[in-house]
Structure 1
Amino acid sequence: MTATNGGPTSGSDATGATGGTDTVRSDTVSAVVRQWHAVHPQLDTGPMEIIGRINRCAALLQQAEDAPLRRAGLSRPEFDLLGALRRTGHELTPGELARETFSSGAAVTKRLKQLTERGLVERRGDTRDRRVAHLRLTDAGRDLVDGILPEQLAYETAVLSVLSDDGQGELAALLAELLGRLEGRMGALRA
């Protein structure tokens, strides 16, 4: 790899050191990279080192489940739906909820059914188009979100505490840049 904008250098040597430093990384992706370098030493594994780590972190975070949400009997996707209804402050259609939560329409429909049965979300039919539903939180749904959110943020803070405040800020900025560019690129591909 080559260094760009102060970012990571491309490629790791066979010891797992990146960019010629003597620091040996000891995460799962480092082992994978070392294995690929043994088979194909000429490969630039830089993208694998970034995307592989993002995917691995996401998988570990999903496996761990969010303790506050689990105690409330909610999955992360269900909480995301409730959170979208709470933070926007107005009714949303299922399609709008799918866009807000980056979910498929079918997944939103299934989750909404469960949340409605639990009395956390209510539906209102559109007076002009019977095919359209408008969704909003019930008082119980709003109270649940408002009660869980501080605890959930404290849990996420604890998870991220392995990084310094500066490290968290740097990571957030890099991920924001990557996400913004990917969203722009994917939006252009869909147009």
Structure 2
Amino acid sequence: MDFTEQVVAQWAEQRPDLDVSPVLVVGRVMRIAAALTAASDTNLAPEGLTRGEFDLLTALRRAGRALRPSEITTVTRASAAAITKRLDRLADEGLVERTGTERDRRVVLVTLTPAGVETVDRLFPRQLERDAGVLAGLDADEIAVLEGLLARMLRTVEAPAL
């Protein structure tokens, strides 16, 4: 019995009137996300980075262009305050740089420095290897099914509120 099944069993005892079966999926997704984030933080710590900072760097790298902080917020789903804090630290480390636009100095654009590009290009393949390791217990068909189900679930979660 995994932790999530224990939680469901406990709720069944305490509140048998509730259908807590969604916890079997949502609870597991949340625990997996927390475990993966913690593992990423552990793996990135020797590099002086957190998973949130690495997400910011990879967002810039795959965009291939400068981004406004609000775009980074949208892509990473982190708060504006968290993005500002991360940008401050990454700029201090020489991994990103902020510049104003010529037309409007209030508009700030963020780019990776050469050191930032090197950092992402060095660390991202390692992250992919770790991610592949997490999926190693599944065959290709199972991965395809899981991918499809998670995509459907994500569309529901990210759907705009009516």
TM-score (norm 2): 0.91
| Rg larger in structure | 1
User: Structure 1 residue 60: deviation in Å?
Assistant: 1.9
Query: Partners of 1:73 and 1:169 in 2: how far apart?
Result: 34
Aligned pairs (5 A) from 1:11-26: 26=1
Q: Give the superposition deviation at 1:67.
A: 4.9
Query: Which secondary structure does the structure 2 equivalent of 1:36 belong to?
Result: helix
AA in 2 matched with 1:52: G
Structure 1 runs of 4+ with >4 Å offset: none
Shift of 1:66: 4.5
Aligned identity (percent) is 46
Q: Is the 8 A contact 1:125 1:133 kept in 2?
A: yes
SS for the counterpart of 2:142 is: helix
- Whether contact under 8 Å (2:44, 2:51) holds in the other structure is yes
CA distance in structure 2 between the partners assigned to 1:133 and 1:178 by the alignment: 34
- More off after superposition, 61-70 vs 133-142: 61-70
Matches within 5 A, 1:128-143: 128-143=103-118
How far 1:112 sits from its partner (Å)?
Answer: 0.3
Select 1:126's aligned residue among 95, 98, 101: 101
Q: Does 1:117 align with 2:95?
A: no
Unaligned 5+ residue runs, structure 2? none
Match of 2:74 in 1: 99
Instruction: Report which structure shows greater RCO (CA 8 Å, sep ≥6).
Output: 2
**CA contact 2:8–2:21 (8 Å) conserved in 1:** no
State whether structure 2 residue 152 is matched by structure 1 residue 177: yes
Deviations 1:108-138 (A, max 9, x none): 0000011011111011112222221111011
Q: Which moved more, 1:166-175 or 1:103-112?
A: 166-175
